[in-house]
Structure 1
Amino acid sequence: MKKITIAIVMAVLCLNFSAYAQQKPSPSKYQIGYKIPDIQFYNILNHNSNKAKLSDFRNKAILLDFWATWCGSCIKSFPKMDSLQQQFSKHLQVILIAGSSLDNQQKIQNFLEKFKMEHPNFSLPMALANPGTKALFQSGVLPHYVWIGHDRKIKAITSADEVTQANLERLVAGLPLQLPIKEAYHGQ
């Protein structure tokens, strides 16, 4: 009888853990259409100031590029992102956000110094995610892009495949974006 009770308890626990594992994590606080508060970025590297707010980039669309020093596909896209930033410089600001808990300011600084040896004209600002950006835009799979229009409303949340010249032209022109939504996950 004791063995049967233990077996039943184990079966119920397995079912509960299985159901828990299949639950989708709750999405980030802000989704497409929501207006973003005036987020403050601190300790920005590769920028004319070590801090900035979204409002500092008035009249520009913003592309937040969440990355990590250990994410090879993120880093591989940096030259493309830098090129797109230069192409749309009057109407767009790309901001690289190091969102991994494994990265800190010193690690990002070291990474940037090495990266700029191979890419001396690299100009994208890099910021370490702060509690505000982590709370708003939680992403488990990197790279992760949040597209913000001139009106500071989220226009899209995507993966790297959607970051194209044509889609950025639509963003900076204020046209609707019909891009597939990348699911935002908790946990980094």
Structure 2
Amino acid sequence: MPRIGVIIGSTRPTRFADQVITWLAPFLAERQDLQFETLDLRDFDLPFFNERASNAYAPTQNAEGVRWQETLAGYDGFIFLVAEYNHAPTAVLKNALDYAYPEWRRKPAALVGYGGVGGARAIEQLRLILVELQMAPLRHAVHIAGSDFYAALKGEQQLEGMTYLNSSVEAMLDDLTWWTKVLEAGRATHGQ
């Protein structure tokens, strides 16, 4: 079964991502077509990228960078939990992306954003980065926006009660299944 890494893209102690991954978990558990595993950037002590070049051109010297690459290599696709900071994805997520290249290439990327406008601006910037890494960012994304985000952040409402988001999650996961299988077959037939 294809393996999907769910990357928590924030490391702040007070991050909202913990609520998001808890809410998303039952949707992932219901799927019979993909296997999901959480990859928390807190568990990887990646320094700011300071290698000679991308690992597409030169081996990474930092041991934690190599461990990150080896972890990513075993996955067939990814879901990114995207916090929006100042209209952009987090610095730790961008740094984690920069620490790998072959491990991302020709794999699908699904996006779950949150913030004032559902992380939409951060997701759009992230899509440009993912295309440069030769990933296939999916059209369907999940956006936890505005009053929903702030109500959940303050504990006034639970994400589980926002059932109108469910169709976005299902559309994203259906797309992820399709793209994962197509790109997996392409990599098997034509190489990485």
- Do both proteins adopt the same fold according to a TM-score greater than 0.5, normalized to the shorter chain? no
TM-score where L is the length of structure 2 = 0.32
TM-score where L is the length of structure 1 = 0.33
Query: By percentage of residues, which structure has more helix?
Result: 2
